[in-house]
Every structure is written in structure tokens, then in C-alpha cells.
Amino acid sequence: MLLKASPALSLLSSGGGDQFPPSRNSSNLLFPSRACRGSTFSVRAAKGTNKSLTGIVFEPFEEVKKEMDLVPSTPLVSLARHKFADDSESAINDQINVEYNVSYIYHALYAYFDRDNVGLKGFAKFFNDSSLEERGHAEKFMEYQNKRGGRVKLQSILMPFSEFDHEEKGDALYAMELALSLEKLTNEKLLKLQSVGVKNNDVQLVDFVESEFLGEQVEAIKKISEYVAQLRRIGKGHGVWHFDQMLLHEEDGVPVLRAALPRRERACRLRAALTRRERGTMFAMPIHRDAIDNRIELELLKWGMNYEPPAPLLLIGGDEDYLPIVMELVN
């Protein structure tokens, strides 16, 4: 806030003449000037005013009067609404509808993969979690709408498909590509909402969208993009089941197999592990190449072995189809 001097206040220089002649309704106070000997300056205050020179530049009771006049008195009008444009309110309602529609599609995907004749529990879990996440986003926008004094207006939701099998790609790859497209579409809608906030100079709406959603959306797009790339490598065969198990146990903290080391180095690590037998019990088992980079515990159950984490996995070379695995259960 800037403090503007009243027209009745002025500085007078006695040496240079009276540039501002005294008013009839004013009184002068003369002060000697330290800079120039024999010079004085005066502060002239207008008569008839009750304001004192206190140095205060913010007078809340005066400035709040205009805000008091804007406080609504009718019970149907929001008391919290402040600098919240109508098109911002409408854009938030549109985004709520986007989040609910995406959640509905993910819920349909969950129901498809949970069928007894599909039986991919990992995909079902992934899409059910995704559906709940999108619904949580919608509820977060609803909460923010109410916080800013807007009105939540729920719009209609389209009925999603119930069949997601694809003759060429298979259901797993097709569903994950659909999820990637939905995440990119949601990102576009969020950017549009952010631009509405910028247009209306609504810094609070822009901060809410950027801090709560945009960064998370980039992470989701990256994650599902990797899933699509991996499923394209796998194809429609046996690897889909192992990928499904990876999704099913994604948050269980189970170690995965890695086959990135050259065969010679893998053999050297095996020999080094064999010299440390006293640290734990060694198990050797063959595992199919399709299971590499996926969870190991189900393979252990097939061979009648107990799984006890933590379990460092050592991979050595084998024939074309199967790779021997040596696992040391650390005590």
C-alpha cells in the first residue's frame, strides 16, 4: 500500500522562496535545516481534519468496509466465495465428470479381468486400484469446489464397454493401451483447467492443480507406458500370466529376477555364492525364460520349496529355454 501525501501537506524552502503559498486553513511548523545554515523547512497541515500523523499506512477498519459491503446476507449464497470466477467453477465441474468417467471405465476393466474365464487377478487389482484413485481425484475436486464457494454439479456418465478382448493384441495389451490413452486424455483436461485458472488470474486454482495433480499425472503416464512396452514384448503367450503375477504382488516387496548380467559373470557369481554355503541354505532350480523379471515365489511353490525373504537371487546360464536359478536363503 502506498501512502499519498495530502494536497494540504508541503515542504517549504525559506531560501528559495515560497513555492507553495500558505493556505488560509493551514498552520505551519518551522524546523531548522541541518544541511544549509540559515535555512528552514516547514510542514503545513490542513485545518479542519481530525487525522493525526501517526506513520500508519494500513487502516484495516477503513479498508474492510468495502469487503463488509460484499458479504452476502442471503442464506443461499456462499460466504466463502472470493475472487472465484464462474468459468473456473464450471471447469472444475467438467473435470469432476472426467475423473468419474475414467474411474467408471477402469471399474469396467476390473470387472472384465476378474471373470472366472479370464482369471487375471493382477490386472483386476491394478484397474480396481486405478478406479478408486480416479474417484478419489473427483472427490478432491468436489472438496475444493466447496472450499472456494462453488456449486458441485454432477453430470451424466457414459456406460463403458464390457468386453475388452482384442483379436490381434489380446486383452492385456489392449486394456493397458486404453489406460495409457485415458491417462493422457486426463492430463490434457487438467492442463485445460490450469489454463482457465491462468486466464482468470486465479493463482490459488493454478497452485491446486499443479501441486495436486500435474506431477502425479506425469508419473502415471510414465508407469503405464512402461507396462505397454513390456506387454508388447511379451505378446499374448505365457508371459501375460507372469506379468499378471507381477501386478498382483507389485506392492508386496517381493524380489524379482534380473537377467541383465552376462552369462560368464553370472557363473562367477554362482561360484562365489557356493563358497559361502555356511551363511545359508542353497537351492538350485530351473526356471523358464518367460519368468525372468517377474516374481519368484509361485515358481518356488511349483518345485515344492518354501519362500523366505530376503532372498538374493543368482542367475546362471542354461539351455535355450530354461535357466538354472540358485537362491541363497540368508539367515
pLDDT at position 44, please? Answer: 55
Dist. CA 145–CA 140, nearest whole Å: 9
Q: Which triple of cell numbers denotes residue 130?
A: 486405478
- Both 30 and 159 in one domain: the answer is no
pLDDT at position 297, please? Answer: 52
- Angle (nearest 5°) at CA 129 between 128 and 130: 90
Q: Is residue 301 part of a domain?
A: yes
Indicate which CATH number applies to the domain containing 235: 1.20.1260.10
- Both 27 and 136 in one domain: the answer is no
**Radius of gyration, alpha carbons of the chain:** 36
Backbone angles phi, psi at 171, to 5 degrees: -70, -35
Block residue for cell numbers 557369481? 269
- Both 103 and 130 in one domain: the answer is yes
What sections of the chain are H helices per DSSP?
60-70, 86-113, 121-147, 171-199, 203-209, 215-234, 239-248, 263-274, 297-302
The answer to whether residue 283 scores a pLDDT higher than 70 is no
Q: What is the pLDDT of residues 144-156, one digit of tens each?
A: 999 999 999 999 9
The answer to whether residue 41 scores a pLDDT higher than 60 is no
pLDDT at position 274, please? Answer: 43
**Across 135-139, average pLDDT:** 97
294 backbone φψ class: left, alpha, beta (φ>0; ψ -120 to 50): beta
Q: Is residue 78 part of a domain?
A: no
Single out the residue in 221, 246, 271 at which a domain terminates.
246
Single out the residue in 70, 99, 118 at which a domain terminates.
70
Closest to 139 (Cα-Cα) out of 161, 154, 126: 154
The answer to whether residue 320 scores a pLDDT higher than 50 is no
**101 pLDDT tier (thresholds 50, 70, 90):** very high
- Both 23 and 50 in one domain: the answer is yes
Output 98 or 167, whichever has higher pLDDT.
98
- Both 180 and 231 in one domain: the answer is yes
Block residue for cell numbers 475414467? 102
Beta bridge pairs of residue 280:
330
Residues 6+ apart with CB under 8 A from 33: 39, 40, 41
Q: Is residue 322 part of a domain?
A: yes
Q: What is the pLDDT of residues 107-117, one digit of tens each?
A: 999 999 999 99
pLDDT at position 75, please? Answer: 74
Q: Is residue 77 part of a domain?
A: no
Q: Is residue 2 part of a domain?
A: no
Strand, coil or helix: 290: helix
Dist. CA 151–CA 41, nearest whole Å: 61
Q: Is residue 286 part of a domain?
A: yes
Q: Which residues are annotated as a binding site for Fe cation?
A: 99, 134, 137, 183, 217
Q: Which residues are annotated as a binding site?
A: 99, 134, 137, 183, 217
pLDDT at position 100, please? Answer: 98
- Both 148 and 215 in one domain: the answer is yes
Query: What are the percentages of helix, strand and coil residues in the chain, rounded to 5?
Result: 50, 10, 40
The answer to whether residue 290 scores a pLDDT higher than 80 is no
Q: Is residue 76 part of a domain?
A: no
**79 pLDDT tier (thresholds 50, 70, 90):** confident
Q: Is residue 256 part of a domain?
A: no
Output 20 or 169, whichever has higher pLDDT.
169
Closest to 85 (Cα-Cα) out of 145, 154, 143, 153: 145
**57 pLDDT tier (thresholds 50, 70, 90):** confident
- Both 238 and 184 in one domain: the answer is yes
Q: What Å distances lie between residue 182 and 174, 175, 176, 234, CA to CA?
A: 12, 11, 10, 22
Dist. CA 286–CA 324, nearest whole Å: 4
**Across 292-314, average pLDDT:** 48
- Both 139 and 193 in one domain: the answer is yes
The separation between the first and the last C-alpha atoms of the chain, rounded to the nearest angstrom, is 70
pLDDT at position 237, please? Answer: 85
How many independent structural domains does the chain possess?
3
Q: Which domain holds residue 18?
A: 11-70
Cis status of the peptide bond prior to 309, with omega within 30 of 0: no
Backbone angles phi, psi at 38, to 5 degrees: 80, 0
pLDDT at position 109, please? Answer: 97
- Both 40 and 139 in one domain: the answer is no
- Both 205 and 105 in one domain: the answer is yes
pLDDT at position 275, please? Answer: 46
Instruction: Count CA atoms closer than 13 A to 3's CA, side-chain side.
Output: 8
Dist. CA 77–CA 85, nearest whole Å: 15
Q: Which triple of cell numbers denotes residue 241?
A: 500370466
- Both 219 and 288 in one domain: the answer is no
- Both 65 and 90 in one domain: the answer is no
